[in-house]
Chain A
């Protein structure tokens, strides 16, 4: 099955700096890579996603890059703000027979220091 590794497990940055979270995946057939943000005590929520036919996608201060050859993808947050503090999870969509499911990374606790 798919295996998704995520680094770092914790990340502290100063407000206004950039944050980068990296993930690798094992199943070359995976073709959909979402990122979720989970604030303390709340549900994970989708913040951005990318498909394997695209190398980069940007949405305001958030961007995701994908390197299919190396099987890794990254989340970039620019001009970080205190409200960006949360746990971020990457995921890869892989096949189970004719169906698909998400395999998640272990999460990155991002802390933005004011």
Chain B
């Protein structure tokens, strides 16, 4: 089992561009979570998805951010028109049951 795979590991975008972050959960895991971590801060919940469904998006900004977890393929976190404040590490995690969560290595987004 390859674990939770996130790509890219590092992503640089200019202000106004779009960022697409990918997450492939562990085999057999149908629960996917996205967390954002600002430098020297904690993990902030963004969104919780199961296959084709958004269960809870209460932590995700209403504008510019969207997430999906299609029937086939990885989960995608999409940030449109990025701003400097979007610079952070974005961690994906997956779980078979909503509790035993395994994290990916994260995508470090830098907006220049």
> Do A and B make up one complex?
yes
A interface with B by C-beta (< 8 Å): 1, 6, 32, 34, 36, 42-46, 89, 93, 96-97, 99-107
Chain B residues contacting A44 (CB-CB under 8 Å) are 43, 91, 103
- Least CB distance from B105 to A in Å reads 5
Interface flags, B78-110, vs A, CB<8A=1, else 0: 000000000000010000011111111110000
Chain A residues contacting B33 (CB-CB under 8 Å) are 101-102
B interface with A by C-beta (< 8 Å): 31, 33, 35, 41-45, 48, 50, 55-56, 58, 91, 97-106
Within 8 Å by CB of B105, from A42, A89, A107, lies A42
Known A44-B91, A104-B45; 15 more pairs at CB < 8 Å: A42-B105, A43-B103, A43-B104, A43-B105, A44-B43, A46-B102, A89-B42, A89-B43, A96-B56, A97-B55, A100-B99, A101-B45, A103-B45, A104-B43, A106-B41
